[in-house]
Amino acid sequence: MYIVPKLDDYSPEALDRAVTELRQALSREEASISSQSEWKEFRDRWLARKNGILTQLNNVWLKPSPPDLKRTVGQVINALHPEIEHFVMNGQSRVEDIRTVLGSLSKDILASERLDITLPGIRRPIGVKHPVLRVMDEIVAVFKAMGYSVGKGPEVETDYYNFESLNFPPNHPARDTQDTLFIAGQEGKPARDRLMLRTHTSPVQIRTMEQQPPPVRIIIPGKVHRNDPLDATHSPVFHQVEGLAVDTNITFCDLKGTLDHAMKALFGSSVKTRFYPSFFPFTEPSADMQVSCIFCGGKGCRKCKFSGWIELLGCGMVDPNVFEFVKQYGYDSSKISGFAFGMGVDRLALLKYEVEGIQMFFEGDVRFLEQFA
Ligand code: PHE
């Protein structure tokens, strides 16, 4: 940075050299400024009344100059004044140019990054539970409150678990009641190991008893498959909730009491239940349970086909033949007994939400599903 030199020699050549040095410094410094604040510093350094370089020239060059040269030195300094001012003004307009360039640049940037905060945002639709799952969870919750634990099992099942251990002997006509979807290419396997899509959740009864000794209280929600052609009330995929209770002295009364309580918890305390004889290979005796129509209260309406009753589930006392298959796990039918039930979930969801056809549940049509949000 330029410092005003003392002049020992006031010859015209020496003065000339000093002025040239000063001019070079002035133009160098002016060229190096690139911001408003640098420019201000530059201006003050050269022009400030108090100790600016121009003022210093008077003190350092003029005052100590020989009296006969004072006039010349004064003229030199006076001539420098407008030169310095010229550079200061130049610097100012250069910095202003830079500012306007930067300003327009940032305007472009601002314009390109403009964000209209008044625009409505993109709303992500909030997912909700599928109506079938909702009903399934409601049923499970009722049994959980009674101390049942929740179990699960595979959807691809062996012949042994789906049929044989549930007292459907090989080739027994009872198997025909459940049109089964078999996995292809299983012929090389022993019959009981062949795979199929489970036709009901009952195989999980056996799987549960293999896993834990009595007592058992378990509720099993799950997906099942049957080779049923699709119509308004049938689908090759549907859902069941299975229940199993095994303990000493479990009677049909416990079965009736438990299910009656569950139905009242699900549909309200005024609902009635009734049981009438049925057949399942794995329960004896077996029953179908009906509830008084939850829509008309039993008077008769379209939903209950004007009978006043709606059939909801199959149930019964665990057949001693079933316990034989899990004897080695602590199930001795001379000491323990149990009940089981299985209910279709989709049919209940159809009734509850007044859905026209079961296929609606599985098509994944958002317009349908949205109604449950
Ligand atoms: N698994 C039977 C069905 O799918 C229902 C059932 C379960 C019946 C448990 C009795 C006991 O039809």
Among 328, 315, 316, smallest CA distance to 209 is for: 328
Q: Report which ligand 1 atom has the smallest distance to the Cα of 166.
A: 1
Residue 65 pLDDT > 90:
no
Q: How many angstroms separate the CA atoms of 372 and 131, rounded?
A: 7
Q: How many angstroms separate the CA atoms of 337 and 168, rounded?
A: 20
Q: How far is the CA of 12 from the centre of ligand 1 (A)?
A: 122
314-349 pLDDT tens trace: 999 999 999 999 999 999 999 999 999 999 999 989
- Which residue has tokens 């139905």? 263
Q: How many angstroms separate the CA atoms of 279 and 273, rounded?
A: 18
336 and 313 in contact (C-beta within 8 Å)?
no
Pocket test for ligand 1, best of 163, 176, 200 (most atoms within 8 A of CB): 200
Q: How many angstroms separate the CA atoms of 224 and 229, rounded?
A: 14
Among 130, 124, 129, smallest CA distance to 363 is for: 130
Q: How many angstroms separate the CA atoms of 304 and 347, rounded?
A: 12
Residue 352 pLDDT > 90:
no
Pocket test for ligand 1, best of 179, 202, 275 (most atoms within 8 A of CB): 202
What does each C-alpha distance from 260 to 206, 222, 367 come to in angstroms?
A: 25, 22, 36
**CA contacts within 13 A on the Cβ side of 350:** 22
pLDDT of residue 128: 86
Q: How far is the CA of 281 from the centre of ligand 1 (A)?
A: 9
Averaged over 35-52, what is the pLDDT? 90
Per-residue tokens: 139? 């049923």
The structure's pTM equals: 0.69
Reduced to 3 states (helix: H, G, I; strand: E, B; else coil), residue 187 is coil
Averaged over 95-124, what is the pLDDT? 83
Residue 298 gets the label, from left (phi > 0), alpha (psi -120 to 50) or beta, of left
Q: What is the DSSP letter of 308?
A: S
- Which residue has tokens 């459940």? 178
**Helix (H) or strand (E) segment spanning residue 221:** strand 216-225
pLDDT of residue 275: 97
Residue 1 pLDDT > 90:
no
Per-residue tokens: 331? 């199930």
Pocket test for ligand 1, best of 282, 339, 343 (most atoms within 8 A of CB): 282
Q: How many angstroms separate the CA atoms of 268 and 274, rounded?
A: 16
**Percent of the chain at pLDDT above 70?**
100
Q: How many angstroms separate the CA atoms of 221 and 204, rounded?
A: 10
Q: How many angstroms separate the CA atoms of 237 and 228, rounded?
A: 9
Q: How many angstroms separate the CA atoms of 323 and 329, rounded?
A: 9
Residue 103 CB-density burial (10 A; 0-12 exposed, 13-18 middle, 19+ buried): exposed
Per-residue tokens: 107? 């305007």
First-to-last C-alpha distance (Å) of the chain: 75
Phi, psi (deg, nearest 5) at residue 7: -105, 115
Residue 257 pLDDT > 90:
yes
Reduced to 3 states (helix: H, G, I; strand: E, B; else coil), residue 245 is strand
Using a 6 Å CB cutoff, which residues line ligand 1?
200, 202, 242, 280, 283, 314-316, 340-342
Measured in whole angstroms, the distance separating CA 141 from the mean position of its chain's CA atoms is 24
- Which residue has tokens 């090759």? 236
What does each C-alpha distance from 10 to 65, 81, 359 come to in angstroms?
A: 7, 19, 110
Averaged over 180-184, what is the pLDDT? 93
Q: Atom 10 of ligand 1 has which residue's CA nearest to it?
A: 315
pLDDT of residue 166: 97
pLDDT of residue 116: 85
- In the sheet with 283-292, reading across from the earlier edge strand, the strands are 149-150, 216-225, 237-247, 337-344, 309-318, 283-292, 273-280
